[in-house]
Amino acid sequence: MKILTFFSLFSTFLSANSINVEENAGQFFSSGHTNNWAVLVCTSRFWFNYRHVANTLSVYRSVKRLGIPDSHIVLMLADDMACNHRNPKPATVFSHKNMELNVYGDDVEVDYRGYEVTVENFLRVLTGRLPPSTPRSKRLLSDDRSNILIYLTGHGGNGFLKFQDSEEISNVELADAFEQMWQKRRYNELLFIIDTCQGASMYERFYSPNLMALASSQVGEDSLSHQPDLAIGVHLMDRYTFYLLEFLEDIHPASKANMKDLFKVCPKSQCVSTPGHRTDLFLRDPGSALITDFFGSVRKVEITMETINLTDLIKEAEQKNIHTTANLQFPPLHLSSFLPYLTPYPQKPKQKDWHPPDGFILGLWTLILLVFFKTYGIKHLKHIF
């Protein structure tokens, strides 16, 4: 793959500007990953949780459209909505009203489904501790050059996410799984997105490097659903993922949209909840990380006739990498310094409800008293006090 792109860079393209070409070639190596993986999980069972399956499938559709092949996607769906007997149109899952967008498609590959979607299986997929006869389609075969997208949706609470209405994964377990992945060199960068109630609580405990996390709601907030459909009888999607899908539909493999755009995907006016994100563990500037670094795996290839000295560019890029990542690229493995319990991530102060200004209340009371005295007069005061 890499050799091919070298060739393509060396070969013919007449009208290219040499400075621009060098810059582009430098950018080509700046992200530092060579392959992309995605783990997309819906943890909810039963028909009324249709929207969670639609959430996951819409992300699946986007990453597949942007070039991650089925072999690099681990899709977990806890229930079968497409062929559910309550589905008026079998073999379809819609994300938009009036059956506009079928996110199920004609060549979907669900790797874990039904009862297979358990906390144990999810953690095993992440950490790679699967039985030896597990087929490749059910494995996350990533390495230290992989960018991984992890998307979770379901019902959750402060610090946990329910799986199948019978068990739950806690934020500490999740953080430890990511640390194990980091120590086993299973990822280069990891993007974690969760669409659940109090989603921000799930990434509070993360402590491994190169992680970026997004959530649909803050602690103490509910994530809300969107688009009730009368024909299907349930809500089609959750608000956060709906706007995420709208955003991703405009992305194409050569888009320059970056993570900062992703943070603004669903403003509070649309989401009702406050989407949160966490970038302190991420070593690059979120503004320089492209959406396609995580959501797609097709690299933009242009053909040029210019001669470019690639060694300089690579060195430059590497040095940049070293500068930024030297401290944390291979952190010392003293567990005590990484214990999440000692240094919990500072929670955002809980938002207070709106309160009328004090002067207003004082004035109101004065008004009440005035009316009172006006009606009863001062002489009745002794009856009251």
Please, what is the minimum distance in Å from the beta carbon of residue 192 to another protein? 24
Cβ atoms 249, 62 nearer than 8 A: yes
Q: Judged by CB under 8 A, which stretch of 79-87, 168-176, 251-259, 347-355 contacts another protein?
A: 79-87
User: 323 an active-site residue?
Assistant: no
Contacts of residue 365, defined as CB under 8 A and 6 or more positions apart, other chains included, come to none
Contacts of residue 375, defined as CB under 8 A and 6 or more positions apart, other chains included, come to none
Q: Which of 82, 169, 190, 200 binds another protein (CB under 8 A)?
A: 82
Q: Which is nearer to another protein, 28 or 50 (CB)?
A: 50
Q: Which helix (H) or strand (E) holds 5?
A: helix 2-10
Binding mask 34-73 for another protein (x = CB under 8 A): -----------xx---------------------------
Q: Which of 42, 197, 266, 271 is an active site residue?
A: 197
Please, what is the minimum distance in Å from the beta carbon of residue 78 to another protein? 8
By CB under 8 A, is residue 133 in contact with another protein? yes
Rounded Cα distance, 325 and 318, in Å: 10
Q: Which of 4, 11, 12, 90 binds another protein (CB under 8 A)?
A: 90
Q: Which of 3, 19, 107, 355 binds another protein (CB under 8 A)?
A: 107
Ramachandran sector of residue 105 (left: φ over 0; alpha: ψ -120 to 50; beta: rest)? left
Please, what is the minimum distance in Å from the beta carbon of residue 149 to another protein? 20
Task: Quickly tell me which residue has 């389609």 as its tokens.
Answer: 137
Query: How many whole angstroms from its chain centre is CA 147?
Result: 13
Q: Which of 23, 109, 249, 285 binds another protein (CB under 8 A)?
A: 109
User: 83 an active-site residue?
Assistant: no
Ramachandran sector of residue 159 (left: φ over 0; alpha: ψ -120 to 50; beta: rest)? left
Cβ atoms 56, 104 nearer than 8 A: no
Task: Quickly tell me which residue has 């319990």 as its tokens.
Answer: 341
By CB under 8 A, is residue 111 in contact with another protein? yes
Q: Which is nearer to another protein, 81 or 174 (CB)?
A: 81
Q: Which of 2, 12, 17, 83 binds another protein (CB under 8 A)?
A: 83
3-state secondary structure of 284: coil
Q: Which of 15, 19, 100, 136 binds another protein (CB under 8 A)?
A: 136
Q: Where are the beta strands (DSSP E) in 258-302?
A: 276-278
Backbone angles phi, psi at 305, to 5 degrees: -100, -10
Within 182-211, the residues that bind another protein by CB under 8 A are none
Ramachandran sector of residue 152 (left: φ over 0; alpha: ψ -120 to 50; beta: rest)? beta
Cβ atoms 171, 159 nearer than 8 A: yes
Q: Judged by CB under 8 A, which stretch of 8-16, 100-108, 287-295, 326-334 contacts another protein?
A: 100-108
Please, what is the minimum distance in Å from the beta carbon of residue 118 to another protein? 9
By CB under 8 A, is residue 110 in contact with another protein? yes
Q: Which helix (H) or strand (E) holds 145?
A: none
**Token pair of 26 as six digits:** 């430098």
Contacts of residue 198, defined as CB under 8 A and 6 or more positions apart, other chains included, come to 156, 157, 158, 159, 217, 218, 219, 220, 221, 222
Q: Which of 164, 198, 216, 273 binds another protein (CB under 8 A)?
A: 164
Q: Which of 19, 131, 335, 375 binds another protein (CB under 8 A)?
A: 131
Active-site residue numbers?
A: 155, 197
Query: Given the rule CB under 8 A, which residues bind another protein?
Result: 45-46, 80, 82-83, 89-92, 104-111, 113-116, 131, 133-138, 164-166
